[in-house]
Structure 1
């Protein structure tokens, strides 16, 4: 059954390639150029099209090369692996089940494993970045299984292969980066305990590699989860510790990101002054960019994303007159393929509009949030849908709000 599904995926990929008018060799060259890793050959593309392999981590680059919708490719690949609708047909394995017992990062050099070099690490780096790009357009429930498979494979590679000290440091960095995106994906899927395990594993890997900004990214990601899941004070302490860990020499985008997380953590405990100060420091950090090389995982940090956090903080602090213009401006120019982020940002706009006593507009935004969220395997968007409905409960005498509750009020029923 799976073999036949793989052949079907291969035929689908071949049709996309031929429709784009490129040869297998040309597609391989394009994927190498887009990923920055020279590891795809014409023979590898041929194996994909014959159904011998499914090119999981290469899907974002294939979508870009062939101008194909990534969600469609991802669903087809999931089906080829024996999954249904992008999710495992049976229960997904937890991280605890995937990782070996004991210290997951213990280097077992006494074993006779294959020797790897920087080329193998470069291939892993491309797969990690491919997973990040997939997370831009797919939700956590769609990605958690492949993310954990990748993390498990990377940990086993570290445990069982042999390598130089330089290669080990590079490998540990990739394990840390993979743990961060896997944790983020698990958190989006509502699997918070598994996310915390992944983040903790990644912190261990990044520390061993001596990569302070990566340690801070993992700690800041965990702090963000704490701030949103009832552990707000822990979130503040961890977010601040992450900034200290990164140090003042960290690249500008990373410092801005870490300070944004500090701002959000303070917001969640109602510390407005500290939150606003951290937001200002985040903007200063991005403005004071000194040309230092930014890590690949910071690719998405931008002035626009900082404005989104500004608006979120202002919304939580009940300052809607400042939040609404910011969110409206960002939403007007945001990438339409990033459905989850659009739904999340609209949810804060809906709340800000309700706070500004504009329930009709708030109901319109809320309806879009809920309708988009229904198609996403994301606990974040599901919870934000419930949050928006709860905020609008006091406006049910307004026809637009009443109609919204007639259609979607059941989402608040336990």
Structure 2
């Protein structure tokens, strides 16, 4: 069951949440059925609870990606409880930081802080790196430059300390220096510091596969913002247009939301081409079902 789910998680690199949500929910249902047949005190039951937490969090991420935030929140809460039942502090903390990442409300930074504090000293370095990078994002969204910078530094230190010698669960195995560059660029882009945002975004995007359409579209949108803040509106429009072409090919709500925000900023600054970009982005649709 764990191996099958690991293979399905790989689909998230290629497809949007509108395509993957039902797959992950189905896997969660199978794990729940298995859990109902055994005592919760056994090692096997704890392993299944851990797997259920991962599946719930992945399904929640797919729901969030497709724009169904209420469903995402319910699944993240479920994942948090399942991780607690499994006795996995790091996985429980990850569910917390998912809630902070997806809700993005005033309390998100505090929730992200609580998640990182809950990790414990024995947490795997990559788990620390992942959660600290997401704390950096929540801090950036709240306007806390110093807090965001500290969290990025902690993520980098944790990643550098990873030996790569132990098997890693899929929920944090994907974090690497390229992904940390992406988060670094996004953090400094939202904080309107293009000189710090542009180099890591460009560096990371150069290594991103062309068929990862959703992620490329998202990260190009932050690069477009950085171009605009750097006083290069022509590059901002061109970069956002490239992102828009990618965004309409994948069942994800997030890229189009981001590109529309970039377009609105361009219009607000009187950028030539801004109204046209906004019209194209407003008219564009991602191939997402009406309901999951």
TM over 0.5: yes
2: distance between equivalents of 1:280 and 1:315? 17
Give how far 1:404 is off.
3.1
Candidates 8, 22, 28, aligned match of 1:151: 28
Residues 1:315 and 1:179: Cα distance change in structure 2 (over 3 Å): same
Unaligned regions of 5+ residues in structure 1, if any? Answer: 1-123
Give how far 1:257 is off.
0.6
Given the alignment of the two structures, is residue 224 of structure 1 paired with residue 101 of structure 2, yes or no? yes
User: What is the aligned length?
Assistant: 284
2: distance between equivalents of 1:288 and 1:259? 14
1: distance between equivalents of 2:16 and 2:50? 24
Candidates 200, 206, 213, aligned match of 2:90: 213
Q: Which runs of 4+ in 1 moved over 6 A?
A: none
SS class of match (1:160):
coil
CA deviation digits over 1:191-239, x for unaligned, max 9? 1111111111111111111111111111111111122xxx1x3211211
SS class of match (2:107):
helix
Unaligned regions of 5+ residues in structure 2, if any? Answer: 285-292
Partner of 2:154: 281
TM-score normalised by the chain length of structure 1:
0.65
Do 2:148 and 2:187's aligned partners in 1 also have CA atoms closer than 8 Å? yes
Given the alignment of the two structures, is residue 185 of structure 1 paired with residue 62 of structure 2, yes or no? yes
Given the alignment of the two structures, is residue 261 of structure 1 paired with residue 138 of structure 2, yes or no? no
Candidates 268, 277, 288, aligned match of 1:394: 268
Do 2:40 and 2:46's aligned partners in 1 also have CA atoms closer than 8 Å? no
2: distance between equivalents of 1:161 and 1:194? 28
Candidates 235, 241, 245, aligned match of 1:367: 241
Residues 1:211 and 1:263: Cα distance change in structure 2 (over 3 Å): same
TM-score normalised by the chain length of structure 2:
0.91
Do 1:129 and 1:297's aligned partners in 2 also have CA atoms closer than 8 Å? no
CA deviation digits over 1:349-368, x for unaligned, max 9? 00100111111111111111
Do 2:263 and 2:275's aligned partners in 1 also have CA atoms closer than 8 Å? no
Do 2:65 and 2:252's aligned partners in 1 also have CA atoms closer than 8 Å? yes
Given the alignment of the two structures, is residue 306 of structure 1 paired with residue 180 of structure 2, yes or no? yes
CA deviation digits over 1:40-71, x for unaligned, max 9? xxxxxxxxxxxxxxxxxxxxxxxxxxxxxxxx
Q: Which has the larger radius of gyration?
A: 1
Partner of 1:330: 204
Partner of 2:289: none
